[in-house]
Chains A and B, each alone.
Chain A
């Protein structure tokens, strides 16, 4: 496999793509946010439960169908954001987005350094056609936390 492909399809991504974590419905979630990528037909629903103060994400889950990149991204994201505050999660969205869309300059390198486990997706930057796959669940997260409106979020 070429190094670019190996960067895209890292073992962690293949593993989460095949066996997504947190792939369950949360009954009574604070936010139930549909997500849809009209380009490929990927769709899913993000569930977020906030803590009593409404500040921290107590639980996160995602149910949907999609490619390995979008499935793994949702899986790792739901692990990652549990325990984070609303603001921390939104800042992470920005860093994640920068990492996979920005040219490989200083800013995106800094983003990779800050993202810990999420940095396995840095290889997506070499595959512009797959950016939407990697960000579908994240757009749902942003939509839920930013305004909490349960309208379908689209990558388009």
Chain B
């Protein structure tokens, strides 16, 4: 793929690519226009323009998403799936329309394969507590990797504890890539669940989840593959059918949508066979004191009044990303990652943590002689928001022998100028701690 230059990015009114000399598969992202969509980017922090480099923790929201949520409350709010009155019908239609948008966005077969939840963490817990509890037995194995977020470790530990099953961890190399030979060797007929991140939140590594799924099919009896897609969906085109996995989990708030929203995609046959999770309204067909008949998937996993406005705003976030084009997003962020990696490498005393060949736009690093928290406070005073800490991935920190890292994570609104401010901030950190 040809390297794109953010400064040269132009998108004409008709949305088509210009500059025919560029042979690229996707139109260039007009970052200036994108930035104008995000109100918070024009705010200041400590009297400095905000440079937001923490999108992997949570992304900022475009006006379209903010407006969508507001419109729900101003024009169509009522409970969903419950009323015959007009507002309820309109709210239900918008809510269900989002299910279709989300399904298409990740290449699912049907909206009925999309369960709306609070986020990736809840999606993983749901699978662990339903499919897992129904299918995992004593001495079975659950295989994860050494680069997982705590959300893709702890729910499996809880399940293993309950079932006396074993959690098995595939190692990563010094670049932060999963050792696929070791991964394959750990698969066996005892493996019941394989749970892997599509992209590492702490390192940015893009895992070969398609290959890992194929290995799982070849080496296990009928293990299911769950992919934690929280850090992938905002940054690249995702097609769950092409991956071939069984479950795919992701969060709206990392894809420029509202917080407290997310989705689980699962194969319809699996969702249908899984026991329900929480009991309550909307997840039932009929209830008597003797017997309750559960609703079909996905509704049987959505007990209680859901986050109606958040779900509809989630749909607006999907529309927004579709408008940009995920191919364009991936290309722009790839260019920015290369620029940032080069800029950080030019500073003596800075060490990158996570140097995989295939990465999303995550720059995780440490500065010699400076604790990440001290760097974070000084960068904050330059208006630069980065995450400092273990990024809910303590085993990854242990693997690299550091207590914490500084993580600059990029989104659709970031520019080379943002990276330049970060670099100047790092030099200031080094001056103070010289």
Q: Which of A23-41 contact B (CB under 8 A)?
A: 39-41
- Provide the residues of chain B in CB contact with A39, threshold 8 Å: 389
- Interchain CB contact under 8 A, A41 and B394: yes
Do residues B381 and A68 form an inter-chain contact, with CB atoms below 8 A? no
| A60 to B293 CA separation, bound complex (whole angstroms) | 66
Report whether A130 and B377 are in contact in the complex, using a CB–CB cutoff of 8 Å. yes
Residues of chain B lying within 8 A (CB to CB) of residue A127: 377
Which residues of chain B have C-beta atoms less than 8 A from A9's C-beta?
A: 374, 378, 432
Is A69 within 8 A of B381, CB to CB?
no
Give the distance in Å from the alpha carbon of A105 to the alpha carbon of B372 in the complex: 31
Q: How many A-B residue pairs have CB under 8 A?
A: 53
Contact flags B380-406 to A (C-beta < 8 A → 1, else 0): 010000001110001001000001100
The CA of A18 and the CA of B433, in the complex, are separated in Å by: 9
Contact B381 A5 (CB under 8 A): yes
Among A14, A41, A66, the residue within 8 A (CB) of B432 is A14
B427 is an interface residue with CB less than 8 A from chain A = no
Q: Which of A1-20 contact B (CB under 8 A)?
A: 1-2, 4-5, 8-9, 14, 17-18
Query: B406 to nearest A CB, angstroms?
Result: 12
Please give the distance in Å from B94's CB to the nearest CB on chain A: 38
Known: A1-B432, A133-B373. A41 touches B389 (CB 8 A): yes
Measured CB to CB, the closest approach of chain B to A92, in angstroms, equals 24
Complex partner residue of B403 from A2, A65, A68, CB under 8 angstroms: A65
A53 contacts B by Cβ under 8 Å: no
How close is A148's CB to chain B, nearest CB, in angstroms? 28
Residues of chain B contacted by A14 (CB below 8 angstroms): 432-433
Q: Is A79 an interface residue (CB 8 A)?
A: no
The answer to whether B373 and A69 touch across the interface, beta carbons within 8 angstroms, is yes
Q: For the complex, give the distance between the alpha carbons of A67 and B406 in Å.
A: 13
Query: Secondary structure of the B side of the interface?
Result: helix
Cβ A41 vs Cβ B381 within 8 A: no
Q: Which of A8, A14, A67 counts the most B-chain CB atoms under 10 A from its CB?
A: A67
A41 contact set on B, CB distance < 8 A: 389-390, 394, 397, 403-404
Q: Say yes or no: A42 contacts B403, CB within 8 Å.
A: yes
Q: A40–B377 contact, CB under 8 A?
A: no
What separation, in Å, do the CA atoms of A69 and B374 have in the docked complex? 8
Please report the C-alpha to C-alpha distance between residue A127 and residue B380 in the assembled complex, in whole angstroms: 10
A66 close to B381 (CB less than 8 A): no
A129 to B432 CA separation, bound complex (whole angstroms): 19
Which residue numbers of A lie inside 8 Å of B, CB to CB?
1-2, 4-5, 8-9, 14, 17-18, 39-42, 65-69, 71, 127, 129-130, 133
Which residues of B come within 8 Å of A, CB atoms?
A: 46, 370-374, 376-378, 381, 388-390, 394, 397, 403-404, 428, 432-433
A-B contact pairs, 22 of them (CB 8 A): A1-B428, A2-B46, A2-B381, A4-B46, A5-B381, A14-B432, A40-B372, A40-B389, A40-B404, A41-B389, A41-B390, A41-B394, A41-B397, A65-B403, A67-B371, A68-B370, A68-B371, A68-B433, A69-B373, A71-B371, A129-B376, A129-B377
The 4 closest A-B pairs by CB, nearest first: A67-B371, A67-B373, A41-B403, A67-B374
